[in-house]
């Protein structure tokens, strides 16, 4: 649904440089004197499909405010993912709290073989051929942070080949 809204904006002439994917929206309540305050929490992943990605979790009084805050925060914490063609240069494993992630390069034409939260990150980065496995926790925020940790540890394709030759 969010992609359809972005498409309509582009049709009107508004150009967006990053594709945003709303991974999760949840309702959160806070107990205060006199009752409960309800807010919304949005988990957003943004990317330019050329290797630049970011993510953020923000809260707001309504869903659109939470999403807008998350997109703004994600733009401030972006990084570039080293890629080897349409995949990643080498296999990588990462852990964030109880979430563990395994990312493996795949041959061209394989496609994205990944679960929901990993798929959102990988597609935002522009990786079109990858194999992945989420282990441990099913928490979407922690799984996405584990994917980001894995992608941050990737080495450039040339550097990865040099290290493979040494071993």
- pLDDT tens digits along 42-71: 999 999 999 999 999 999 999 999 999 999
SS3 9: helix
Q: Which of 78, 83, 87, 93 is nearest to 105 (CA)?
A: 87
Q: Is the pTM of this model over 0.75?
A: yes
pLDDT at 78 over 70: yes
Residue 63 CA to residue 28 CA, distance in Å, equals 11
What is residue 17's predicted lDDT score, i.e. its pLDDT?
84
Average pLDDT, the chain: 88
Domain edges within the chain: 2-79, 82-156
What is residue 14's predicted lDDT score, i.e. its pLDDT?
46
What is residue 156's predicted lDDT score, i.e. its pLDDT?
82
Task: State the average pLDDT over residues 128-138.
Answer: 93
Q: What is the CATH number of domain 82-156?
A: 3.30.230.10
Q: What percent of the chain has pLDDT over 90?
A: 78
Residue 106 CA to residue 122 CA, distance in Å, equals 13
Regarding the domain delimited by 2-79, which CATH topology (the fold level of the hierarchy) does it fall under? Double Stranded RNA Binding Domain (3.30.160)
SS3 118: helix
Task: State the average pLDDT over residues 24-32.
Answer: 95
143-146, Cβ contacts within 8 angstroms, sequence gap of 24 or more: 143/96, 143/99, 143/101, 143/115, 143/117, 143/118, 144/23, 144/43, 144/45, 144/55, 144/117, 144/118, 144/120, 145/55, 145/96, 145/97, 145/99, 146/94, 146/95, 146/96, 146/99, 146/100, 146/101
pLDDT at 3 over 90: no
pLDDT at 34 over 80: yes
Q: Is the separation of the CB atoms in 144 and 96 below 8 Å?
A: no
Lowest mean pLDDT among 14-23, 60-69, 112-121, 140-149: 14-23
- pLDDT tens digits along 93-123: 999 999 999 999 999 999 999 988 999 999 9
């Amino acid at each position: 649904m969010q992609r359809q809204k972005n498409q309509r904006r582009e049709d009107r002439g508004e150009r967006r440089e990053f594709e945003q994917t709303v991974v999760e929206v949840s309702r959160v309540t806070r107990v205060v004197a006199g009752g409960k305050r309800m807010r919304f929490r949005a988990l957003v992943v943004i990317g330019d499909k050329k290797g630049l990605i970011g993510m953020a979790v923000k809260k707001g009084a309504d869903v659109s405010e939470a999403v807008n805050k998350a997109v703004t925060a994600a733009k401030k914490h972006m990084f570039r993912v080293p890629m080897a063609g349409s995949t990643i240069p080498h296999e990588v494993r990462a852990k964030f709290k109880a979430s563990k992630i395994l990312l493996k390069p795949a041959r061209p034409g394989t496609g994205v073989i990944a679960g929901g939260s990993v798929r959102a990150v990988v597609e935002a980065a522009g990786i079109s051929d990858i194999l992945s496995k989420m282990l441990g926790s099913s928490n979407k925020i922690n799984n996405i942070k584990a994917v980001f940790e894995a992608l941050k540890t990737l080495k450039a394709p040339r550097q990865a080949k040099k290290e493979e030759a040494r071993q």
